[in-house]
Amino acid sequence: MKAVRFSAFGQPLKVVEVVEQPDVALKPGEARVEVLATPINPSDILTLSGQYGQLPKLPAVPGNEGVGRVVEVQDSSAVKTGDVVFLPLGAGTWCTQLVAPADSLLRVPPGTDLRQAAMLFINPPTADLLLRDFVALQPGEWVIQNAANSAVGRSIITLAKQAGFKTLNVVRREELAPELTALGADAVLLDSDELPERVREVTGGAKVRLAIDAVGGESTRRLGDALARGGVVVNYGVMSGKGPRLSAAATIFKDITLRGFWLVSWMKKAPREEQGALFARLAKQVAEGTLHVPVEGTFPLESIQEALTRAMEGGRAGKVLLTPNGPL
């Protein structure tokens, strides 16, 4: 089997290599899965560079989600040969094949776009939990987010619309406005020091209680300054490379609080039944086509350098996927 491997942390393009690895014999209860599609997420880039919150023991195979087809099963009835399944989170998915416990594999609903299914297990649940777990929003309320054109941001727009929430979507490029508006965004604003004033203008002075931050640094501060008294900023990323911060005016005089979110922590605490219900609900929406993330392009493992270069560039129109066993 082939796999992308890295043996040191550093600049992603310099540390990855495509290698041949021996097939692993199956143990009872295990299944062998050929990987059909797996995305390159921001967390993968941070892992390769050694900046993520949880780092693997090296050498390691990157990749945290995807879809595959079962090609062999040993002493288990949980899945059968030919089943198309979601790959386990954190399984090291940038490879042609992987081995996993058969009972950890969930079947992909028939008819689901496999490229969309490959992106289900990280960004959509992150978006759903950010909207629901920190502030008890009511239909008609506003929520503000930055990095609104990201995969999580787009999922937030879709899920908020379904729940009856209104979204203020902060971006760095004005040309993104038509695309996000077509997706369901209620307002698209440029990230600038005038953001709090623009929020008041757009909402008519409505009370905005929740801000969702993927950027950190000054962008976090601007979100906090745009919130109503007692509001909450939830940070889940640092695209700027700087930690999140709030102004003294926000923390002292408006009682704004800053929280953090990491999907891995939620999964360690949430009951298995709760996790299953969340993923089943989101999988149904992906299968129905109501939850959709644009794909910028697909690449074979052998083109990992090109794929990573594209994934790290600004101005992309969607997610970059690896298709280790050929085009879908």
Per residue in 244-293, pLDDT (tens digit) is 999 999 999 999 999 999 998 998 899 878 988 898 899 889 888 899 88
223 in a structural domain:
yes
Residue 287 in any domain: the answer is no
User: pLDDT at residue 314 above 80?
Assistant: no
Same domain, 141 and 105: no
For residue 11, the model assigns a pLDDT of: 97
Instruction: Please give the residue that has the higher pLDDT: either 280 or 177.
Output: 177
What is the average pLDDT across 52-81?
95
At residue 229, the pLDDT reads 98
> 66-70, 91-95, 263-267: lowest mean pLDDT where?
263-267
* 47 within some domain: yes
Residues in CB range of 205: below 8 A, 6 or more apart: none
147 and 83 inside one domain: no
Q: Is 230 within a domain?
A: yes
Range of the domain at 77: 2-119+293-322
Whole-number pLDDT of residue 41:
93
Q: Which amino acid is at 224?
A: G
pLDDT surpasses 80 at 192: yes
Question: Same domain, yes or no, for 250 and 131?
Answer: yes
| Total domains present in the chain | 2
Q: Is residue 279 part of a domain?
A: no
What is the per-residue pLDDT for 106? 87
Beta bridge partners of 17: 5
Most confidently predicted of 87-91, 110-114, 221-225, 291-295 = 221-225
The predicted model gives 126-147 an average pLDDT of 97
Same domain as 57, residue 132: no
The beta-strand segments (E) located in the chain are 2-6, 16-20, 30-39, 67-73, 84-86, 97-101, 106-107, 142-145, 166-171, 187-190, 210-213, 232-235, 257-260, 295-299, 319-322
Percent of the chain scoring above 90 in pLDDT: 84
pLDDT at 288: 87
Q: Which of 93-97, 99-103, 106-110 has the least mean pLDDT?
A: 106-110
> Which residue among 248, 264, 280 closes a domain?
264
pLDDT number for residue 186:
98
Report the pLDDT value the prediction gives residue 110, as an integer from 0 to 100.
86
> Among this protein's residues, is 52 annotated catalytic?
yes
Count of residues making up the chain: 328
In a domain, 139, yes or no: yes
Are 135 and 260 contained in the same domain?
yes
**Is residue 315 pLDDT above 80, yes or no?**
no
Q: Catalytic residue among 15, 26, 29, 52, which?
A: 52
Residues 132 and 109 in one domain: no
Angle, helices 272-288/123-132, rounded to nearest 10 degrees: 110
Looking up residue 77, the CATH number of its domain turns out to be 3.90.180.10
Are residues 9 and 42 located together in one domain of the fold? yes
Does any domain span residue 259? yes
**298 and 239, same structural domain?**
no
Please give the pLDDT value at position 259. 98
Q: Does residue 131 share a domain with residue 10?
A: no
Name the pLDDT band for 316 (thresholds 50, 70, 90).
Answer: confident
Mean of pLDDT values over 44-51: 94
Q: Quote the CA–CA distance of 19 and 250 in Å, as a whole number.
A: 51
CATH code: domain of residue 136: 3.40.50.720
My answer on whether 142 and 254 are in the same domain is yes
- Which sign does the torsion angle of CA 265, 269, 272, 276 carry? negative
**Is 328 among the domain residues?**
no
154 and 88 within one domain: no
Same domain? 108 vs 134: no
The whole-number pLDDT of residue 30 equals 97
pTM summary value: 0.87
